[in-house]
Amino acid sequence: MTNTMTRPTRWLSVTGLGIVAAWTLSSCGGGAPALTEIAGNARQSMEEATSFTYTVADPDGVHGEELESGEFSSHTDRVNYNILFSMPQADVEVRAVDESTAFLKLNLKDESLREVLGDVDTDDKWVQVPESEQEDLSQYTEDFDGIIDTTFSLIEGLSEEELDAVEVEETELDGQAVYKYVVPATANGESEHYTGAETVEFYFLQDSSELVQVDASTGDSTATHAFSNLNEVEIFEAPPEEEIAEMEWSF
């Protein structure tokens, strides 16, 4: 039986993906590099990377969005990525194999949405996105590229006084030695990626200067943004045929 699937509204938008990022440094008397120095090295590594993974977890809604968690793994030298969003109403996964081949998986959690959207749940199977819709998916790679700019702009936008007040702490994160920098989330004013945070904490690996995590906090609530798999993301391929649903995408 062939079902009809309508456009899955704006769940496919990454607008809600905030990557709130800027961090404080607690002082530690020794050889920790200046924030601008280590951030410059980290940014260069990320901009030159052929692939990396970005994840966000915001269970307390620091950023005021419905996104609870998300993971975006992408190649920067080609159209090839996989995105997974988890929201109270639904889980959405998008996989782009190349410029003309993409798949979507949608699992509704809120049954009341069926009355509005119809039977769009793919029942844990993938649906192929028509080639005519490939251009709409370009927003994902654009927002992914924007993650680097918006993250480091929170450091680059700090005033001299704010930079002088930054403290650094040598600590551990997931068993790795890191420098932790804590800064106010005030640089460049309002940002759609960093709304709701009062402070952000940047974690850089001590041995490579790689940025691995950013915690955006307000009060007792924290949203965690992590970066990993630099140059190590495998090429995403089309799902097996048995995992692709026979659903028709109509408009």
Q: What is the DSSP string of 1-62?
A: --EEE---GGGG--TT-------B----SS-PPPHHHHHHHHHHHHHH-SEEEEEEE-TT-T
Sign of CA dihedral 179, 183, 185, 188: negative
Prediction pTM value: 0.79
User: Would you say 194 and 178 are in contact if contact means Cβ atoms under 8 Å apart?
Assistant: no
pLDDT by residue (tens digit) across 119-150? 555 667 898 888 877 777 666 556 666 888 88
User: Would you say 58 and 163 are in contact if contact means Cβ atoms under 8 Å apart?
Assistant: no
- HSE, side-chain direction, 13 A CA sphere, residue 140: 30
User: Would you say 68 and 84 are in contact if contact means Cβ atoms under 8 Å apart?
Assistant: no
User: Would you say 169 and 28 are in contact if contact means Cβ atoms under 8 Å apart?
Assistant: yes
CATH number for the 18-233 domain, one of 3.30.479.30, 2.50.20.20, 3.40.50.10880, 2.30.30.100?
2.50.20.20
Q: Is 170 left (phi over 0), alpha (psi -120 to 50) or beta?
A: beta
Spell out a b/e string for 229-243, using b for 16 or more CB atoms within 10 Å of the CB, else e: ebeebeebeeeeeee
The pLDDT of residue 138: 66
pLDDT by residue (tens digit) across 59-102? 888 887 777 888 999 998 898 999 998 888 888 899 999 988 99
User: Would you say 127 and 105 are in contact if contact means Cβ atoms under 8 Å apart?
Assistant: yes
CA 199 to chain centre: 18
In one-letter notation, the amino acid at residue 57 is: A
Q: What are phi and psi of 181, to 5 degrees?
A: -115, 130
Token couple for 2: 């062939």
pLDDT by residue (tens digit) across 153-205? 889 888 899 999 998 999 999 999 999 999 887 655 445 566 778 889 999 99
List the chain domain ranges. 18-233
The pLDDT of residue 67: 77
